[in-house]
Structure 1
Amino acid sequence: MISALQHPNLVRLYGCCVEGSPLLLVYEYMENNSLAHVLFSEKEGQLTLDWPTRHKICVGIAKGLAFLHEESPLKVGHIDIKTTNILLDKDMNPKISDFGLAKLDEKENTHISTRVAGTIGYMAPEYALWFS
């Protein structure tokens, strides 16, 4: 289903392998790794982000999310947006990846879930206010 969604700010899924272990997803090659790698890596020769590039990345992420939420034929909530799930191509264009926790917005399903979701160790600050 995710491979059918195409947008400049969503990573393209080319295929998968579901036989045996480990299970594999085949994405397009992203030359500059993840946003987390660029921001937090301490390796020599690390990329540095100037403010125009940071702005471009933020706007690209917002465009990708707007597409998922409003413009695509399938309305998708990503649920796990974080720097490791933002990949950067050779021109530093951001692409949203890892739809493992994504939810479809089904109009006929009116139940609202209040369950906490996301990667352990990463949580939106408002959850800490509600569940502490």
Structure 2
Amino acid sequence: MKTTARNQFKGTIEAIQSAGSGNDEIIIDIGSGLEIVAGITQGNTRRLDLSVGQEVIAMIKATWIILAVDSDEYEFSTRNQFFTTITAIKTGTADSEVFLKTEEGVELVAIVTNVGVEKMALTVGKSVTALFKAPHVILAIKKV
């Protein structure tokens, strides 16, 4: 499958929990002890016929990933938090691609404005927390 989402993770649904107000949280095991939580409507849970143990692909656009530095003293409301190290930065005209890797070897890409890269002093080797909201996770399944 080819999509424009830079971040794609194959995983297995380990839980489906009602989040109230017509939404579900789909908890996906992507290996190495890491999970992604997707927030989707209960209608989509039914339409995709999602079930525990099912294989899915979780996609997150690079522009939906927010980076935080020096965040050890803070807690964030977002369900998805990955502790990463910057492995590369590819600077464009207005934005930069920031390549990240977790200690477990999971790789992500975030798009950050060049002003943001400068203000946050982002450099290769710097530790950052990658954050993204559960509703920003798009799920895909193979057609049966």
- Normalising by the smaller structure, the TM-score range is under 0.3
Higher strand share: 2
Q: What TM-score do you get using the length of structure 2 for normalisation? A: 0.21
